[in-house]
Amino acid sequence: MHVTAIIAAAGEGRRLGAALPKQLLDIGGRSILERSVTAFAGHDRVDEVIVVLSAALAAAPPEWMTASRPAADVRIVAGGERRQDSVANAFDRVAAHSDVVLVHDAARPFVSTELISRAIDAALEHGAAIVALPVCDTVKRVEVSGGHAVITGTIARDTIYLAQTPQAFRRDVLRAAVALGRSGVAATDEAMLAEQAGHRVHVVEGDPANVKITTSGDLEAARQRMRPAGVGRIGTGYDLHRLVDRRPLIIGGVTIPSDTGALGHSDADVVCHAVIDAVLGAACAGNVGQHYPDTDPQWKGISSLTLLRDALGHVRERGFAVENVDVSVVLERPRIASFIPQIRARLADALGIDVERISVKGKTNEGVDAIGRGEAIAAHAVALLRSL
């Protein structure tokens, strides 16, 4: 399966009132645009990312877009006069063999790995889907006359949803929507065009954290969100497993092609085990052996990502959330550099944090001791927690 993500970022964001286009404004040390692009480029199911920029910005893109090497192929196209024109320009560059195309507003920099996955799955199943949130407040229809607003009716709120992005489509469905837009039909998003082209658009659960930055208040709230709250806690973790024949080598939830794999009661994922010890240690909540002993048959062969999610529950019960994680994998062979984006994405999904808060590095032991001889693999992890 081939998945393409289109990031719509050609607008000027005038409502924000900033000197720069809003997608270039900083949130926690990174621009809004960078956060949105890397969320998709680092996703292990996204193969290419097409970023739509203004003509001026497309001619001189930010340095990080050309200097970084994300997992997905990232390309730039110049946008059009309207949003739908920009998306149409990007669609022309979508790989012919792409199965699913996502469309995302760059102004939503907090899109999660899980949300992207839900959108992809829904498009595969239904052909067209959007992520959206149900309205919680009572909705009124209002008529404005003579400077006064008067209620003319109450709308059943269970029929009202607030659309977010990404919106996801099978390639043929988005092709029909784009063609309709080019014929002169105006729309505020691609889902609207898909509807008018005769396709049923399904709704999947959105995320309240997936906010759109439109006003200066939105920007300040986003920046506040990136500031660590309350007390910080630091924990360290370490794990080592022997390498043996006829075992899979699983690192951070990703199966790495190898002649040998780690020996253990579970799937022997050293990265997950080290991270579990780091987050539990920071919360003073025990360790891997205490919670998931190798004497208990229920943990036999289990995915360590499942254990990591469970460990996160113990951390939250103590009033903490994970701020960031840094992991070093010590392995003589095979080299894991090409798998690091997938590992980061899996860890981010399990921990429920943005992928940019996960660091993974591959190291060798320069031929020294059991690791250097290819007989073992180890991982060191450091985790920072913040109080909720």
DSSP H or E stretch at residue 90: helix 83-91
Superfamily of domain 3-225: Spore Coat Polysaccharide Biosynthesis Protein SpsA; Chain A (3.90.550.10)
Percentage of residues in the chain having pLDDT higher than 70: 96
Q: Please answer whether residues 252 and 269 qualify as being in contact, where contact means their C-beta atoms are separated by less than 8 angstroms.
A: yes
Residues 6+ apart with CB under 8 A from 351: 275, 279, 308, 312, 322, 325, 358
pLDDT of residue 230: 61
All CATH 3.90.550.10 domain ranges in the chain, comma separated: 3-225
- What values do phi and psi take at 327, rounded to 5? -130, 140
Work out the mean pLDDT of the chain and round it to a whole number.
Answer: 93
* Per-residue pLDDT tens over the stretch 229-238: 566 899 999 9
Residue 229 has a pLDDT of 56
Compute the distance between CA of residue 325 and CA of residue 344 in angstroms, rounded to an integer: 10
CB 345 within 8 A of CB 38: no
User: pTM of this prediction?
Assistant: 0.61
Give me the pLDDT at residue 68, please: 58
Rounded CA gap, 343 and 336, in Å? 10
Region 122-132 average pLDDT: 97
CATH number of the 232-387 domain:
3.30.1330.50
Residue 167: closest CA among 137, 139, 187: 187
Two structure tokens written together for 131: 């992520």
Task: Tell me where in the chain the CATH 3.30.1330.50 domain(s) lie.
Answer: 232-387
Q: What is the pLDDT of residue 225?
A: 81
Q: Which pLDDT band, with edges at 50, 70 and 90, does 319 fall under?
A: confident
Listed range (70-79, 239-248, 250-259) with the worst mean pLDDT: 70-79
pLDDT computed for residue 22 by the predictor: 86
> CA 147, CA 151: separation in Å to the nearest integer?
13
Q: Check if the beta carbon of residue 170 is closer than 8 Å to that of residue 147.
A: no
* pLDDT, mean of residues 146-153: 91
Instruction: Give the residue from 94, 107, 12 showing the smallest Cα distance to 49.
Output: 94
Around 68, how many Cα atoms within 13 Å sit in the side-chain half-sphere? 19
Per-residue pLDDT tens digits for 342-386:
999 999 999 999 999 999 999 999 999 999 999 999 999 999 998
Task: Phi first, then psi: give them for residue 239, nearest 5 degrees.
Answer: -150, 150
